[in-house]
Amino acid sequence: MSELRRYRKKPDTAVTAVRLDLETDGFTYRKWGGEQRCKAGDWVVDNDGDVYTIDAESFASTYDSAPGEPGRYIKSAPVWAEKAETTGVIETKEGSTEYEAGDYLVYNGPERTDGYAMKPETFEGMYEAAE
């Protein structure tokens, strides 16, 4: 793998999100080449037309409400990312994501924890170096 670097979300990249605060067993769906699981308490997110779910614990530790914008949230926590050198699959809290060489492997923890994959054009449009 390439060098792990710290990034922050660009300030103009808020998402719309709703917490699945219902008595439910959750649901499954297919995205990113794998089966994803959403459970009670998780968040359903619309990120500029890309809709997916985020684990409740991950969302609570990485997002803050956007001031004056009900239902909008900003990722306030930094991430750590590296470019994948080979094709593979990363296990996420929601399921798994397939990636190709050149995609970014992104982690909410500096120890390469709570990870996911993103296409370069998506990652570079949403994140900037934090150093």
Helix (H, G, I), strand (E, B) or coil at 5: strand
* Residue 28: both structure tokens together: 């499954």
Mean pLDDT value of segment 89-110: 96
**Is residue 129 within 8 Å of residue 10, measured between CB atoms?**
no
pLDDT band at residue 1, thresholds of 50, 70 and 90? low
| Domain spans in the chain, listed from the N-terminal domain onward | 5-129
Q: What is the mean pLDDT of the chain?
A: 95
For residue 75, what pLDDT is reported?
Answer: 95
Locate all alpha helices (DSSP H) within 1-131, ordered by sequence. 56-62, 120-126
Q: How many whole angstroms separate alpha carbon 89 and alpha carbon 58? A: 20
For residue 78, what pLDDT is reported?
Answer: 96
pLDDT 10s digits, 42-92: 999 999 999 999 999 999 999 999 999 999 999 999 999 999 999 999 999
For residue 45, what pLDDT is reported?
Answer: 97
pLDDT at 122 over 60: yes
